[in-house]
Structure 1
Amino acid sequence: MNALELPTPLVTTDWLAERLGDDRLVVVDASVLSVSTAAGSRWLSGLDDYLIGGHVPGAVFADHLEEFSDPEGRFGFTRPTLARIARAARELGIDDDVSVVVYDSSLGHWAARLWWLLSAAGFPRIAVLDGGLSRWQAEGRPIDTGFQLPREAGTLTLARIDGFWADLDEVQRIVDGESDAALVCALSASEFRGETGTRSRRGHIPGSVNIPLGSIVDRETRTQLDGQALAERVAPATAGGAPRIVVYCGGGIAAAGTALALRRAGHPDVAVYDGSLDEWAADPELPLITVA
């Protein structure tokens, strides 16, 4: 069976609608919800919304909170092992013969996180649906409810690719001037400045520039900026000429959205700092900058 080729890491709703039902395609809903409680906001699986509110016809559901995270990780959404990624992906019907289109019901960052996980694991054919579920519904396209049984997966060959991830040691070397790379914070401007945030220590890692996830998304259509508009928005990341860009946020989710945008803008050496500020801010010896 010939593989279904994806035109870019971002596909349109038109492209997907024309190919729904193709045996070579697996569509994945990767939504996660933020809910407010008396104890503060927390993450909630998007499964109920997928089942009851509806999903793209034929889409299966990917669980970021459990299956595509390391349950033993110190922080939420710690990236899982290669073996765990392979098992979770095969349970969705993903194997060497299919291409994958992933979406979410937010700004695309949950979809981008799954794109990043699978791409870093060597899976070659995955794209994010531009505009996600919101655009799909706004265009009046069909929605299914209930559970979608995944296809039976065959062999899935994964092998970790270097360069996709940065760790605490690398970020420390960048801050200390021992590594030539740019640091990008994908959080909102107010969190970057240290005015808001839920961690006990606020602010940003020294030397960072701010490219919020929301700034690379058209808020009305939920589609990603492209062309010159995208190039101008991500320009601060390359202003210093560093060959490598490391993107972080709170827990490595929004960072995946901004990191994917940087790759789409033509920057090949982009990494996500998986621990992000959840890890950095937890160490009182590591510096954080606030802007009055």
Structure 2
Amino acid sequence: MTTVPLIVDSAWLYERLDDPNLRLLDATTFLSIPNKDGETPSLWSGQDAFNEEHIPGAVFADMLNNFSDRNAPFPMTIPSREQFVEEIEKLGVGEDTYVVIYDRGALANADVIASYWASRLRWQLKYEGFDNVAILDGGLVKWKLDGYPTTTEKTSYPRGKFNFSRRPKLVVNKEQVREAIDNDSVVLINSLSPADFYGETNTYPRKGHIPTSKNVFFGSLSNPETRLLWDDEKLTEIFSKTGALDSDKSVITYCGGGIAATWTALILNKLGQENVAIYDGSMNEWAADPSCPLVTGKE
């Protein structure tokens, strides 16, 4: 049985496309950035894009419709255990399988390099107890740049048996974040852009960031020339400034809606920091509650 690294490249995946234990999942979802402050971002499924082109052997994981709670007050909220297991088994994931996930990139209208839809599904799998999962570095864009094929052919896997146990500590709620603000043993990481972090935009109901949190923009973790993650030395340099890699610290990552935060968490895991949780509600929830403190500016 193959045990996969957290990150794989196109060549690694291509060599294994015919492996019967592989479950290759396309998690593409599209998020548009508003052109002006105050506009509402658009979010839509990547199903049509998948039908037009995908890596051979891949099946589509509909993050918007199947792997989120559509009745929750905020978009892309983690679904119930029952919903997740039902949907992931349909995609063939279970015992004696390993998973590789990719997407088409972070945003529909910006050239930001991060496979955070793939990392979101990877985090949900980890949360539900499944560890043997990798992310394709550079996603579909890099796969094509490397000269590997795509297809429109449909495929499917035998239904999986997902007999794994949820890890509740990998996700935190608003009250746990409140407690973390004044806890020196917890590092809060904001994964949004510096402009969002410092309160220079109107992306959320209120401006700014959670007090004591540090900013590591998710889009800064890859090399724009190669479209691959920076090497571990550079990534370590980035995160060392925040204290997030200290062995005596735990980490909570957040962003706008708990998506980009999973990309940051993935890199922290890659660098050896396993004590990482996601604030699933993130700024969508925090900024909507006037009782939750926010600070702006660079001080």
Q: In structure 2, what is the Cα distance between the partners aligned to 1:36 and 1:126?
A: 29
Alignment of 1:26-65 (within 5 A): 26-35=23-32, 40-52=40-52, 54-65=53-64
Q: In structure 2, what is the Cα distance between the partners aligned to 1:161 and 1:33?
A: 28
Q: In structure 2, what is the Cα distance between the partners aligned to 1:68 and 1:131?
A: 22
1:97 aligns with 2:96: yes
Alignment of 1:12-161 (within 5 A): 12-35=9-32, 40-52=40-52, 54-106=53-105, 107-146=114-153, 148-161=154-167
Q: 2:214 is matched with which residue?
A: 209
TM-score between the two structures when normalised by the length of structure 1: 0.93
What is the Cα deviation at residue 265 of structure 1? 1.0
Taking only the aligned residue pairs, the percentage that are identical comes to 38
What is the aligned counterpart of 1:191 among 196, 217, 220?
Answer: 196
Q: Check 1:112–1:95 CA distance in 2 against 1; reply closer, same or farther (3 A cut).
A: same
Q: For residue 41 of structure 2, what is the amino acid of its counterpart?
A: S
Unaligned runs of 5+ in 2: 106-113
Q: Check 1:172–1:160 CA distance in 2 against 1; reply closer, same or farther (3 A cut).
A: same
Q: In structure 1, what is the Cα distance between the partners aligned to 2:162 and 2:47?
A: 25
Q: Is the 8 A contact 2:239 2:245 kept in 1?
A: no
What is the Cα deviation at residue 178 of structure 1? 4.6
Alignment of 1:269-284 (within 5 A): 269-284=275-290
Q: In structure 2, what is the Cα distance between the partners aligned to 1:253 and 1:275?
A: 10
Q: For residue 51 of structure 1, what is the amino acid of its counterpart?
A: N
What is the Cα deviation at residue 65 of structure 1? 0.6
Q: In structure 1, what is the Cα distance between the partners aligned to 2:143 and 2:245?
A: 38
Q: In structure 2, what is the Cα distance between the partners aligned to 1:84 and 1:220?
A: 39
Q: Is the 8 A contact 2:245 2:268 kept in 1?
A: no
Deviations along 1:71-105, one digit per CA (max 9) or x if unpaired, are 22111111112211111101111121211000111
Q: 1:256 is matched with which residue?
A: 262
1:232 aligns with 2:237: yes
Q: Is the 8 A contact 2:58 2:155 kept in 1?
A: no
Q: 2:110 is matched with which residue?
A: none
Q: Is the 8 A contact 2:185 2:250 kept in 1?
A: yes
Q: In structure 2, what is the Cα distance between the partners aligned to 1:274 and 1:11?
A: 26
Q: What is the root-mean-square deviation of aligned Cα atoms in Å?
A: 1.8
Deviations along 1:207-259, one digit per CA (max 9) or x if unpaired, are 01000101111223321122211100111331695510100000000000011
Q: For residue 95 of structure 1, what is the amino acid of its counterpart?
A: G
Q: In structure 2, what is the Cα distance between the partners aligned to 1:240 and 1:152?
A: 40
Instruction: Report the count of equivalent residues.
Output: 286
Q: For residue 290 of structure 1, what is the amino acid of its counterpart?
A: T
What is the Cα deviation at residue 28 of structure 1? 0.5
Deviations along 1:29-76, one digit per CA (max 9) or x if unpaired, are 101112468964311111111111x11111111111111101221111
Q: For residue 17 of structure 2, what is the amino acid of its counterpart?
A: L
Q: In structure 1, what is the Cα distance between the partners aligned to 2:297 and 2:66?
A: 38
Q: Is the 8 A contact 1:218 1:224 kept in 2?
A: yes
Q: In structure 2, what is the Cα distance between the partners aligned to 1:179 and 1:62?
A: 38
Q: In structure 1, what is the Cα distance between the partners aligned to 2:258 and 2:45?
A: 17
Q: For residue 33 of structure 1, what is the amino acid of its counterpart?
A: F
Q: In structure 2, what is the Cα distance between the partners aligned to 1:239 and 1:230?
A: 12
Q: Check 1:267–1:239 CA distance in 2 against 1; reply closer, same or farther (3 A cut).
A: closer
Q: 2:111 is matched with which residue?
A: none
Alignment of 1:155-194 (within 5 A): 155-175=161-181, 177-178=182-183, 180-194=185-199
Query: Is the partner of 2:241 in helix, strand or coil?
Result: helix
Q: In structure 2, what is the Cα distance between the partners aligned to 1:74 and 1:219?
A: 35
